[in-house]
Amino acid sequence: MTSFNAPKFTKTAKELIYSVSNAFRILGRKYHALKVEVWGNCVYVWAKGQVSRFVSKKAFTQKFVDFRKAGAVGLDVVKVPFETGEYMVKSASKDGSYLVQCLTDKLTCTCQDYQTQAAAMNKACCKHCYATLNYLGFDSLSAYIAS
């Protein structure tokens, strides 16, 4: 199991979801010096002389989720023997695994992405949680909670 190291700084939900990297995913390519500003019910994305666009907050949130769901594809999930609701999910990028615990109203994970999301938004679902949900036959966290 990979040990958890506390983040060096805490991001806000706004910084996580309405990020430049998420804007790159929405636009489908990287731009030099892309800027992202949250305006009311939408997000203004621009790069000097290249792109200027308003994008809905819903699109940013969906892309945030889709990115993690895509990262879950192909991850190995193994049920922890003799433990109810505990699964080990192998890391895709390095040696080691993360522990995912299935509780009645949420899943928890020992990875940094989960810890950052939980600190910023009081809820979280990383790619390891999505891999576990897939393993259990659920397509979303809300479907798992409703079961």
Which residue ranges make up each domain of the chain? 9-68, 73-147
Evaluate if residue 8 carries a pLDDT over 80: no
Dihedral angle of Cα 56, 57, 62, 63, to the nearest 10 degrees: 80
Strands 35-39 and 107-109: unpaired
d(CA 24, CA 45): 10
Is the separation of the CB atoms in 121 and 16 below 8 Å? yes
Task: Tell me the pLDDT tens digit for each residue of 14-71.
Answer: 999 999 999 999 998 888 889 999 998 899 999 888 889 999 999 999 999 999 999 9
